[in-house]
Structures are given as C-alpha cells and as structure tokens.
Amino acid sequence: MANKIHHLHILGICGTFMGGIAALAKELGFRVTGCDAQVYPPMSTQLEQLGIELKQGYKVEHLQDEPDLVIVGNAMSRGNIMVEYMLDRNIPYISGPQWLLENVLKDRWVLAVAGTHGKTTTSSILTWILEYAQLSPGFLIGGAPQNFDCSARLGNAPFFVIEADEYDTAFFDKRSKFVHYRPRTLVMNNLEFDHGDIFNDLSDIQRQFHHLIRMVPSNGLILSPRNEPAIQETLAMGCWTPIEQSHSSIGWQADKLNADGSEFIVTFEGVEQGRVKWSLIGDFNIDNALMAIAAARHAGVPTHIAIEALAEFVNTKRRLELRGKINEVSVYDDFAHHPTAIAKTLAGVRAKVDAENKHRTTQGRVLAVLEPRSNTMKSGIHKDALPLSLQQADHVFLFQDKDIKWSIEELIHQCHQPCIVSTQIDLLVKEIVSQSKEGDTIVVMSNGGFGDIHEKILTALANK
C-alpha cells in the first residue's frame, strides 16, 4: 500500500491518537493533510511544525485536491459531509488502527497496554524504560509523555509501545481499536464497565478483550493483576499464551515503604528486585509501574535497569500534574473521569497530603473539583457510584454541564462532606477560591479542558 500511496488526508486529525498517526505517516515520508472540527494548540502547533497542512472544519473542498487515501477517525459518522463525499466518489479510505497495522506494526514487536484505567501512564512508563535501556522504541501514546518531546515516533525496530484503546475503530468497523495491534507483549491493567455509548454491559467489553487475547502468540506474554475478577473471567474464556500476574506471591509484588506510594520494593517470584523511589504517588501508579517493569523484562530489559529508569520518569501531562501553587494552595490537574479512577486519584492525594502534614498541628485538606464529562458519566450510568468515589475529599465541587442528562444536585445528600454544584464554571471558581485556605490541595478531574478552570483558579487565588 505504501508504495502506491503518496497523499494521505486524515479526518479528525487533532485527537491525540489521529495526531499520532499523522506524525508517524509524515515520518514514513507520506504527504499528510488533515482536518478537524476544531484546530487549535497544542496539537495543531505540533502537527504544523512537522509540515502537516491542517484545515479547519469539515468541508468537501478539503477533499477536492483528491488524496490517495483518507484515514477516518472514529469520531466520524455517517451524515458527516466529508464522509458522504468520500463514499459517493469512491475515494479509498481506511481506519487509523488498520493503517497503523499495515504500515507500522506488522513487522514490529508490539507491546500493547490495555485496560479501563492507567493505559497512558503505563505506556509512558514502559516507553521510558525501553528508552532508558537504549532500545529507542517506537511508540504511540494517547497523551503527552513528558520524558519525550512527542506522543508518537517510529523509533528503531523491533519494539513499538502502543496505548491499546478498547473504543471502537471507525463508523465502518465497530471492533475495538486494539484488535488491529497484534501484540507480542500484552498488558491488561484492569477491566470495568465504561464507554456506555458503545458497549451495553461489561460482557461486551470482555468479548473485545478476548478477541485481543486470541491474537497474542504462544511465545508472547500476557501481564495482568491477579485481583481483577473481570480479567480473570476473560482469561478463563481461553488463553494460549504464558501469563505473569501482579498481586501474586508467584508473580510481581510491591511493598510500600511510604504510604503515598512514592517509594516501594519490587519482588518477582518471591525475590527482591530492587527499590523504586520516584516522583509519582498512589497505589494505582505502583500497579502501573509493576506492569511496565514486567513488560520491559519480556523485551529483554533487566529489572534493575527498569527500576533505575523509574527514578527519572516524569508523569504524563494531566496525570496528577501540578499546575501551580499560590499562597500555599496547590492546584493539580488529573484525567480521572471514571468512579474507580476518581477514587484512586483522591486516595493517592490523601496519602500524600497526610504524609506531608504528619508533624503539623493542622491537617491539609483535599478539595475535589469534578466535571462528569465522559459519555458514560453524562448518561448517568455511574452516578450512584460517584459519592463513594469522592469520599477521600474534604470538600467537593461539581460542574453540572447542560449535556448531563441527570441532576447532580440529587447526589449531594449522599456525600458526607460539603458539596457544591454549579452550572457555571466562573461561579464554581469563586466558590472554590472562597472556601480554600492555606495548606489545601485542589484536585481538578476531567477528561476534557474544563473551560481552563485550572488557570482560572490559580489566577483567582493570586488575586484573593
């Protein structure tokens, strides 16, 4: 295919995944153009710096300089004017994951990281370990890994790390993206119900994960936690590949030395491998680290080298990223949007805050600021689990977007702590800042931009 095709046009180019596809295609020597509903920094800047021509909006004229192939993002649907134009004129098209398989992955040792939570962080840790071990891996990560200046590159054969998303592939291919990746090393971090807009129940998701399991060769490796029932059920559907597990006396384990998870001992098969001391916190990040260490070991990286690498790992942007500290009030940004992720994020922050205030007369407070933005959250599927997921916070602030199909106000009485709901971001900022005091930690959680609320909070704190 690559020998006959010179010009690629990408529909939905500014998403992290499709932007990564664009970068890889450009590195392979294709002429790459693309369009999106909203073309804006930082992705637009990154792509333009690569020499990729970006067009604003979905307009048929963007396809009139007819490309050899259109790569269709999974946000595109029938009825989109460019999709209809492409189909009517029989312009060749392909999904992003299928293009990736045919042009990048088919000859590589693919290390895929799947699961409901932790994919981006674990992929970033694993990529950094391989880089630290001087293996120069290729990668495509759905975020901004801060040990690198890009979210995708070809790297040097054989290793390629990919964040393996279970979301559907395209309007014409409703299988999960990850069935196209054909991994030799597969990490499955965890498995819960999510993406209620495309899956009916957990068994639907398990079926897609089992398609993925079926593709891992018998000389490959599957890595998963032993304490995840949904993964154990999925593996029991049939597995033809060796398995290594964490949270297992015969597998990988971690023993915390600090309550916040910033220091821990790694053991494998009962033998101590070394001590990790790093900048991340939270039990969930320890789990991410164990999976990354194990996957890197399968690729030939000695465990002690992987442990060394973790000391220099900088967490991915928007994964408990400190956005600023004003008047002794810290403001963090986190991507958490599922109740389990929210609970784990707040538990990690709670442990860190408690450790920092251990010898002080006053206890630091955790203020949780949440935008229930995912399709699953907006539909109300997770609403009953939300109060429990917020229990580690001392004060809760919730944004009621107009697209949320249920009333957040109804849940306030289920929260044990003070809880404020607002339909306006600026009013929410005023409430947050008025309630904050020295020593507080504000954790903003959303899988979107949240109206740049982080900077608004920091500005208001500076003016307080």
Q: Are 138 and 159 in contact (CB under 8 A)?
A: yes
* Judgement on whether residues 211 and 338 belong to the same structural domain of the protein: no
Domain span at 68:
7-96
User: pLDDT means per 10 residues in the chain (464 residues)?
Assistant: 79 92 96 89 81 93 93 95 96 97 97 91 95 96 81 94 94 95 96 77 92 97 93 96 91 91 93 93 90 97 96 80 88 84 86 77 83 76 82 89 77 81 91 91 88 91 87
Beta bridge partners of 256: 264
Domain count, the chain: 3
CATH of the domain at 54: 3.40.50.720
CA–CA gap between residue 373 and residue 318 (Å, rounded) = 15
* Judgement on whether residues 124 and 273 belong to the same structural domain of the protein: yes
Report pLDDT for 422: 86
* Ramachandran region, residue 57 (left: φ > 0; alpha: ψ -120 to 50; beta: rest): left
The H or E element containing residue 97 is helix 96-100
Token pair of 386 as six digits: 């939300």
Residue 141 placed within a domain:
yes
* Judgement on whether residues 142 and 274 belong to the same structural domain of the protein: yes
* Judgement on whether residues 131 and 203 belong to the same structural domain of the protein: yes
Beta bridge partners of 397: 369, 420
Token pair of 90 as six digits: 């029989």
pTM of the model: 0.79
Among candidates 112, 215, 105, 216, which has minimal Cα distance to 163? Answer: 112
Report pLDDT for 362: 61
Dihedral sign of CA atoms 228, 229, 233, 239 in order: positive
* Judgement on whether residues 269 and 348 belong to the same structural domain of the protein: no
Report pLDDT for 196: 66
CATH of the domain at 344: 3.90.190.20
Contacts of 304 (CB under 8 A, 6+ apart): 273, 274
Q: Are 250 and 278 in contact (CB under 8 A)?
A: no
Among candidates 258, 244, 132, 233, which has minimal Cα distance to 185? Answer: 244
* Judgement on whether residues 374 and 276 belong to the same structural domain of the protein: no
* Judgement on whether residues 152 and 75 belong to the same structural domain of the protein: no
